[in-house]
Structure 1
């Protein structure tokens, strides 16, 4: 009896339907069959070897199963995915047909796929053409399936606000869709209309499948305009078209213009393919690493944000991966989506913004308020306040806004609108007007009791019961920011903008004994009660439409919880509540920025690092080295010996390590040390958010510093000028102490070229209309000429 085998991976969603069809067809046509999840293929190696036709849909097989395929007697082996094409058997036309029947799927196509294989094996059966099954469409659990937007809108009566939900066609086709139903129900309970769209993963011209981009255009746009307010993406890999799978890159692609046209947030939901909900809940790391790559990192490339866990997978008795919803997050996601929509719909005058200042450990005392890596936070916030006023936001009396960063800090410090420190008690804060609000016991307990039981228990173990904290029944070391039995919320308000220091994490304030602050970055200790009081006051009482953490980096993203794919017991999720979160972060710290993005559901607003310049140091020593090398080259050995002694003396004074045992080796050592030091970038002040340096000289230095080294795509500006005037840049880099045809050492020439490069850029900044330029070497001098005028001469 002939035997057909189907080895199905990728969750095996189609396995129940395929099993049903195979069972019916085997009774009618008298053949044997095997249909298994690819994870079990090792156990069935013998049956695989005895098969006459094999359809394989998997990306990974045990070695024994792969060997069984190679050694099988099968006349047809049809790999549907690309991973095992080398095992193919059968004519190209047959294999192409098998792929179409399988990928388009559905009961009739599976039935005809079986007929096709039987006919190939010599059984006279009828094979019908491939039946069209929609590659994409709209699905609603109460209304059914729609092939176009128009017919759905006639049945659904869409009202704004509306959310688009994007999910895989496979879930719809094989009825593995509970998590989508739960999302739809949660959205509609919040008063949000839905357009739930199933789609194939990528465009495949061979089978006629559209891409996700095609589905977005077809169902979320009408007359060229978006009809949704938020896009919720549950698919994996890239959202946009990055080309054929094997050629895909982490790069910006044309579909970015589509997202710009949509102009809506893309919320990225995480469906774990390798863990059940219970396994995810129990795992302190959260989702598995593969899901982090496919469900978080790759969608991030195309602008998806807020990677919130929506469900996990469990394997049923048939070996099929069933997706189950984490229902608390289905409701949480709907609330966050609603807040995004409200933020957009509110006129600027009504929007409320909470700005959280980064508040480093108390060893820096009050001097550390409002700092950020490389950023002038006070000046940046001042400019932001004035810009918000121009845009129609309510910032209070404009005449009372700080005029600059110093004035903002003065206002904060005069009112002591800061957290309690070693020499600033909570009584001082309240007396000076730095308390923006208070949270009483009843209100706090209401928020506290919302928390999961495990979180509440941990807070009590770490900090005591909130009633004891507020009523002075615990050590002062564990209290902080409590006044008259209420938690203090420090800060200042400018109309609808509230500025507050981030709550201290474990600081005992004026009761500090120098020990408690050691827990600041302990990932196992819960934040103290005042932390929760401040963040909940922001979201529930102040009713912020937006939380903005201003500067790199605070504590929020490092608070206890899962590494990725957070739960309601994770403190970053608890802290931001359901409010949209922006984080102003330096662009040169992507690793920690990614942590903030993923663990605090932050939309990262990058800022440039500070203006930089190359360090001009030890120039007297550099001059001595050049004199020594020229003396050696010209044969003036007496002068070389005297200069060498001066080099040794200068090097020792500057604590430069000398290991060489000859003048030549010492000179080379010192040269390389100077090269390394000169290659160090130094700050020229702090960056002001949204502002480039106004001084042309500073900006030119900054630009040349950025362009000082070769990159993957572009040569350095130093190389460009060196090669323009006929010098071998690679030789200059390899041998800095060598003397070139200009009669200068290579390091001396490199520094000269850098200074000329700064002049070039500065001249272009001051005179952008100048285009023609000439660099020339005349009698050993490098001249920079614009339109006949000499701008630099060395």
Structure 2
């Protein structure tokens, strides 16, 4: 905020900027002095445009359209059609509305502007109305005022990555940066940036499907989504757009590859794509000792075989279709979800360790509503490095294909697992009607009502009784 800059109480801003720069990204700091961030974005985040000259060749011109736009009403703010962004991401360090500030919210105008600019909005969280110590000690994380101003309102504009990066300490007189949080956020921003700049044939993606309750029949289930055909369509689209992916012949073949393969050899519910030794797991997972205090020594009894942890799924070129392990407490999943302590089991942690540090995924896509990652123990919102969703997703950019009719749990995925949601519609609802013998019975009843012939009515009545008995309807 401008007040922090002019009063030189900007240590938290400087800390995050330096962390981002250490990751090799250039930072363009901008102060928005109005309640409308579009003006600052138009002035500083839009570079030169391509405009054809008299010969039809492209030449660069400076966009000066914002000079006239400042005096226009909110709904009239338009970018030049050929405007080119100078930035790959916009990171708000103040919270509040993108258009309107703390006093109001014009989310439609914000969404329209950001869609035209085609640049994602991140909203990092500064602890302005609670101390760092209060946040760290709180089971809920952010207090209601912080959560409302700096998470819920920016979400309406489409903001993601609600990372706490700094704030006031109990004994301090100015905000300070939280180095570990700044470093984690900076690395996540770098990973998001790579998705925009790397060659598509180099990008590695993990598509995660779910399995609850744990058995082969429940692999690839999700609310209102036919998962395997959906994943197959995603694979085809990725291949068509230049990603390195081996596309199975059809959705049924994909299902067979995941459910079959070598699963019987290991007594697993799905194909085992990688066997992680206990030594490798302990070396790569920095939280393994905390999990052992809850679940015993690795590898444990879930998703394990001998002294190995089993990573289930199938690799298709640079795409890994993974099966997310179960909660562990299948008879009482709320035991883990509602626990102030607790931890995911070794098999669950091993999957996300594999995706980030062995497969080297550039992003993870959870497919369907919903999995278990975002419900793991930790703060409700404004997570710390002690919270399990934060630990598990690590530095991986996260996209979640989520049902449009479940915004409440979708918000949990956004806030606790830093997910960008891609919504899918629920199937259309229509009258299912009657089928088979029920339809035949209906036709007999209609014929009985419509006929006036006594002999025909008697025959129809007998047929109705026989059909009703065959359908196990009570007759008297």
- Indicate the TM-score class for this superposition, using the shorter chain for normalisation: 0.7 to 0.9
Matched, 1:442 2:274: no
Matched, 1:533 2:380: no
Match of 1:412 in 2: 258
Matched, 1:402 2:249: yes
Q: Distance in 1 between matches of 2:430 and 2:106?
A: 31
Match of 1:291 in 2: 146
Q: Distance in 2 between matches of 1:377 and 1:341?
A: 28
Match of 2:325 in 1: 503
Q: Distance in 1 between matches of 2:26 and 2:289?
A: 35
Q: How does 1:587-602 map to 2 (within 5 A)?
A: 587-602=404-419
Contact kept in structure 1, 2:210 and 2:325, CA below 8 Å? no
Q: How far did residue 289 of structure 1 move?
A: 0.8
Q: How does 1:707-746 map to 2 (within 5 A)?
A: none
Match of 1:386 in 2: 236
Matched, 1:487 2:339: no
Contact kept in structure 2, 1:378 and 1:409, CA below 8 Å? yes
Q: Deviations over 1:527-560 (max 9, x none)?
A: 0112111101101111111100001011111100
Match of 1:182 in 2: 15
TM-score (norm 1): 0.48
Q: Which of 423, 427, 449 is matched with 2:266 structurally?
A: 427
Q: Distance in 2 between matches of 1:307 and 1:233?
A: 10
- Distance change >3 Å, CA 587–CA 264, structure 1 → 2: same
Q: Distance in 2 between matches of 1:456 and 1:197?
A: 43
Q: How does 1:41-190 map to 2 (within 5 A)?
A: 168-190=1-23
Contact kept in structure 2, 1:197 and 1:215, CA below 8 Å? yes
Runs of 4+ aligned structure 1 residues displaced above 3 Å come to 248-251, 314-317, 514-524, 614-621
Q: How far did residue 438 of structure 1 move?
A: 1.8
Q: How far did residue 389 of structure 1 move?
A: 1.1
- Distance change >3 Å, CA 259–CA 515, structure 1 → 2: closer
- Distance change >3 Å, CA 326–CA 610, structure 1 → 2: same
Match of 2:424 in 1: 607
Paired positions, count? 407
Matched, 1:215 2:49: no
Q: Deviations over 1:744-764 (max 9, x none)?
A: xxxxxxxxxxxxxxxxxxxxx
Match of 2:460 in 1: none
Q: How far did residue 249 of structure 1 move?
A: 4.6
Q: Distance in 1 between matches of 2:202 and 2:473?
A: 60
Q: Which of 306, 310, 322 is matched with 2:161 structurally?
A: 306
Which runs of 5 or more residues in structure 1 are unaligned? 1-167, 203-210, 418-423, 470-477, 508-513, 625-652, 656-794
- Distance change >3 Å, CA 576–CA 402, structure 1 → 2: farther
Q: How far did residue 201 of structure 1 move?
A: 4.6
Contact kept in structure 1, 2:223 and 2:369, CA below 8 Å? yes
Q: How far did residue 256 of structure 1 move?
A: 2.9
Q: How far did residue 258 of structure 1 move?
A: 2.8
Match of 1:632 in 2: none
SS in 2 for 1:306: coil
Match of 1:234 in 2: 93
Q: Distance in 1 between matches of 2:266 and 2:23?
A: 43
Q: Distance in 2 between matches of 1:496 and 1:236?
A: 37
Q: Which of 376, 386, 393 is matched with 2:226 structurally?
A: 376
Match of 2:108 in 1: 252
Matched, 1:367 2:213: no
Q: How far did residue 367 of structure 1 move?
A: 0.4
Contact kept in structure 2, 1:234 and 1:268, CA below 8 Å? yes
Q: How far did residue 344 of structure 1 move?
A: 1.1
Match of 1:125 in 2: none
Could you say which structure has the greater relative contact order, defined with CA pairs below 8 angstroms and 6 or more residues apart? 2
Contact kept in structure 1, 2:95 and 2:154, CA below 8 Å? yes
Q: Which of 435, 456, 460 is matched with 2:292 structurally?
A: 460
- Distance change >3 Å, CA 274–CA 227, structure 1 → 2: same
Contact kept in structure 1, 2:374 and 2:416, CA below 8 Å? yes
Contact kept in structure 2, 1:361 and 1:520, CA below 8 Å? no
Contact kept in structure 1, 2:133 and 2:169, CA below 8 Å? no
Q: Distance in 2 between matches of 1:518 and 1:316?
A: 38
- Distance change >3 Å, CA 654–CA 213, structure 1 → 2: farther
Q: Distance in 2 between matches of 1:557 and 1:654?
A: 47
Contact kept in structure 2, 1:280 and 1:312, CA below 8 Å? no
TM-score (norm 2): 0.79
Matched, 1:345 2:345: no
Contact kept in structure 1, 2:337 and 2:377, CA below 8 Å? no
Matched, 1:281 2:130: no
Matched, 1:548 2:330: no
Q: How far did residue 288 of structure 1 move?
A: 0.6
- Distance change >3 Å, CA 429–CA 479, structure 1 → 2: closer
SS in 1 for 2:175: strand
SS in 1 for 2:14: helix
SS in 1 for 2:427: coil
Q: How far did residue 522 of structure 1 move?
A: 4.7
